[in-house]
Chains A and B, each alone.
Chain A
Amino acid sequence: MAEVAAERAPVVSSATTAWRSYVLPLVIFALFAAIPLLGQFTAEAYLLSLVTRVMIFAIAALSLDLLVGYGALVSFGHAAFMGIGAYAVGILASHGFGDALVALPVALAASALFAWLTGIVSLRTKGVYFIMITLAFGQMAFFTASSLAPYGGDDGLTLQSRSTVAGFDLLANDRVFYYVTFLCLVAIYLFCRALVRSRFGRVFRGARENETRMVTLGYDVYRYRLVAYVLAGMMAGLSGFLLANATNFVAPAYMSWQRSGELLIMIILGGIGSLNGAVIGTAAFLLLEEWLAGFTEHWKMIFGPFLVLAVVFVPGGLLGLSRFIMRRLRRG
């Protein structure tokens, strides 16, 4: 997997083709914005909760793509940040602090702190060792959560209601919560997009291509990576905050290594290092999972081989596939 991350150059469009790079995200986000309008034709609650889930995971996938696609830092413990964000909501709510103005800052701060502490250690390693050490830290968070007896231990923690906002029940409405999640996703997407083009992003991407060169230019590569790691951890923390509110439930399973693996599969399926791919891959993964699960209870037997085939035959992900087809069409 380290090789996958190293081989594919991330996409950063140049200024001359800038307008074209807006088409795909505009289509994607227009679709997300329009989905609640379809609600009247179908089971609205089901549709909203499904797509809300897609957008929440897309936020986590974007933050992971930042690390994997643009920094070649294959984090295999990314679910831990989501879990920490979710547990911040659950634990605070169980003590009567059910307001987002408390829970959100705490969720972000807790995931940032965890990212900072684990980043200090894990960013000193490279390649496979980085994968293993982030996995280890992720499992550490998982087992810690499992042993939190006052907060449900293995069984997790049920929330009475969604977070209030300054005392108001704003998020209780599914549509409102949908659009709040949507705005979070757009904001995170725009932030990531700006980040990879910024001065900071240039250094971070440069370190991926040739670390020694960046060091001899005077950049302390380790620090830039640590900052990126903390930022990505906070974004995943935000998605954990939203996930706890979406499901009204928090459990250690949110931090399991399977969940971290799923996040990686989402971005690989969509095409790493492109941000758009992270959103598309997440949607494809979760919708396919939902669809297959409706077919048969043995859906994993179809889903697994499908993912293997997708990775083997479409190494650039869904985004790479669509680019390939577009090029063919234009030439033909």
Chain B
Amino acid sequence: MAEPVLSLRGLRKNFGGLRVTDDLSLDVLPGELHALIGPNGAGKTTLINQISGLITPDAGRIVFCGQDVTATAAAGRARLGLARSFQITATLPHFSALENVALAVQARSGSSYRFFADASREEDLSAEAMRALQDVGLAHRADKLASELSHGERRALELAIALAMEPKLLVLDEPMAGTGREESARLVDVLQRLKGRFPIVLVEHDMQAVFALADRVSVLIYGRILMTGAPDVVRSDPKVIAAYLGDETA
């Protein structure tokens, strides 16, 4: 088996008396789209925050690209190539869509301690940002402020920002959250195209999307991995149906 891009070992996190992540271990393999599903409150976002470094686990190890990053701050992990999107859209509202993405390009190309030259005139920053916007079908809205975009467009912008980081791992926290049927279908298309370019961890409630996209699915319940497997295996597993899928597939 190939060396995993990301491996979590014995991860544990308590919020007061509540055990949100409970001795959790998980591997993400190169090139795979690994979906993470589970009911509300299963600890999905907490897990993602631990992966991206916004929350420190109480115990356990996080290894990213062969490097132990358990003690590395979020900014450091991002510089190593770990990109994430947010469940609640986190763009810069008063920046144009292009600038939002250009900031992601800038983060990995050259020093940002440059005080004189106008960043908006840097052709290569803008060109690469434009390419990421094209990838998600947002190029025609490049000059609009993020706050002027529709909800679905902002979800796409989130994706473009993550893409522009040229990540070694992409962690997407409910990229379809709150989007309509049409927009959500468009995002699935985009993800379908991105698949294979880099490994993706996808947290999503839209089961249709998950089973259409995922190579492997892990089911998270009460902070533990109930099972990991191919979509078809997971879908028909009686434990999973009882715990989570039951009412949704019925």
Q: B-contacting residues of A (Cβ < 8 Å)?
A: 9-10, 14-15, 191, 194-195, 197-203, 205-206, 209-210, 212-221, 224, 227
Contact B103 A198 (CB under 8 A): no
Closest CB pairs A-B (n = 7): A218-B78, A9-B94, A218-B79, A209-B92, A218-B107, A199-B114, A213-B90
Contact A217 B119 (CB under 8 A): no
Chain A residue numbers with a CB within 8 Å of B54 are 212, 215-216
CB distance from B46 to the nearest CB of A (A): 15
Chain A residue numbers with a CB within 8 Å of B52 are 216
* Interface assignment of B118: CB less than 8 Å from any CB of chain A: yes
Give me 29 A-to-B residue pairs in the complex whose CB atoms sit less than 8 angstroms apart, sorted by A's number: A9-B94, A14-B120, A15-B121, A194-B115, A194-B118, A195-B115, A198-B117, A199-B111, A200-B113, A200-B114, A201-B119, A202-B99, A203-B103, A203-B112, A206-B92, A206-B95, A210-B90, A210-B92, A210-B93, A212-B54, A213-B90, A215-B73, A215-B75, A215-B78, A216-B75, A217-B75, A217-B103, A217-B165, A218-B79
Chain B residue numbers with a CB within 8 Å of A213 are 86, 90-92, 161
Chain B residue numbers with a CB within 8 Å of A221 are 75
* Interface assignment of B186: CB less than 8 Å from any CB of chain A: no
Inter-chain CB contacts under 8 Å: number: 106
* Interface assignment of B116: CB less than 8 Å from any CB of chain A: yes
A212 CA to B94 CA in the complex, in Å? 16
Chain A residue numbers with a CB within 8 Å of B91 are 210, 213
Chain A residue numbers with a CB within 8 Å of B90 are 210, 212-213, 216
A219 CA to B73 CA in the complex, in Å? 11
Known contacts A199-B119, A209-B93: does B84 contact A216 (CB below 8 Å)? yes
Contact A200 B112 (CB under 8 A): yes
Contact A199 B94 (CB under 8 A): no
Binary interface encoding of chain B residues 74-106 relative to chain A, with 1 for a CB under 8 A from any of its CBs, else 0: 111011000110100011111110010011101
Provide the main secondary structure of the chain A interface.
helix
Contact A198 B106 (CB under 8 A): no
Contact B99 A209 (CB under 8 A): no
* Interface assignment of B108: CB less than 8 Å from any CB of chain A: yes
Chain B residue numbers with a CB within 8 Å of A214 are 103
Chain B residue numbers with a CB within 8 Å of A197 are 118-120
Chain B residue numbers with a CB within 8 Å of A9 are 93-94
Contact A219 B94 (CB under 8 A): no
Which chain A residue lies CB-closest to B54?
A: A212
Partner of A202 from the list B73, B84, B119 (CB cut-off 8 Å) is B119
Chain A residue numbers with a CB within 8 Å of B78 are 215-218
Contact A217 B107 (CB under 8 A): yes
Contact A218 B118 (CB under 8 A): no
Chain B residue numbers with a CB within 8 Å of A202 are 99, 102-103, 106, 112, 119
CB distance from B52 to the nearest CB of A (A): 6
Chain B residue numbers with a CB within 8 Å of A198 are 114-119
A35 CA to B147 CA in the complex, in Å? 43
A331 CA to B143 CA in the complex, in Å? 24
A215 CA to B75 CA in the complex, in Å? 5
CB distance from B224 to the nearest CB of A (A): 26
Most buried by A among B91, B108, B114, B115: B115
Most buried by A among B79, B92, B106, B112: B112
Contact B108 A218 (CB under 8 A): yes
Contact A218 B75 (CB under 8 A): yes
Partner of B117 from the list A14, A199, A203 (CB cut-off 8 Å) is A199
Chain A residue numbers with a CB within 8 Å of B115 are 191, 194-195, 198, 200-201
CB distance from A49 to the nearest CB of B (A): 33
A200 CA to B117 CA in the complex, in Å? 10
- Of residues 10 through 40 on chain B, the ones whose CB sits less than 8 Å from some CB of chain A are none
Binary interface encoding of chain B residues 53-75 relative to chain A, with 1 for a CB under 8 A from any of its CBs, else 0: 01000000000000000000111
CB distance from A45 to the nearest CB of B (A): 38
CB distance from B86 to the nearest CB of A (A): 8
Chain B residue numbers with a CB within 8 Å of A216 are 52, 54, 74-75, 78, 83-84, 90
CB distance from A219 to the nearest CB of B (A): 6
Most buried by B among A199, A210, A215, A227: A199
Known contacts A198-B115, A200-B113, A212-B90: does B75 contact A219 (CB below 8 Å)? yes
Chain A residue numbers with a CB within 8 Å of B112 are 199-200, 202-203, 219, 224
CB distance from B126 to the nearest CB of A (A): 10
Chain A residue numbers with a CB within 8 Å of B79 are 218
A193 CA to B117 CA in the complex, in Å? 11
A19 CA to B94 CA in the complex, in Å? 21
A256 CA to B92 CA in the complex, in Å? 36
Which chain A residue lies CB-closest to B161?
A: A217
A202 CA to B125 CA in the complex, in Å? 12
Chain A residue numbers with a CB within 8 Å of B108 are 218
CB distance from B115 to the nearest CB of A (A): 5
A220 CA to B107 CA in the complex, in Å? 10
Which chain A residue lies CB-closest to B81?
A: A218
4 extra interface residue pairs, beta carbon distance < 8 Å, beyond A15-B118, A198-B116: A191-B115, A199-B110, A210-B92, A216-B52
Contact A15 B103 (CB under 8 A): no
CB distance from A62 to the nearest CB of B (A): 15
Chain B residue numbers with a CB within 8 Å of A206 are 92, 95, 103
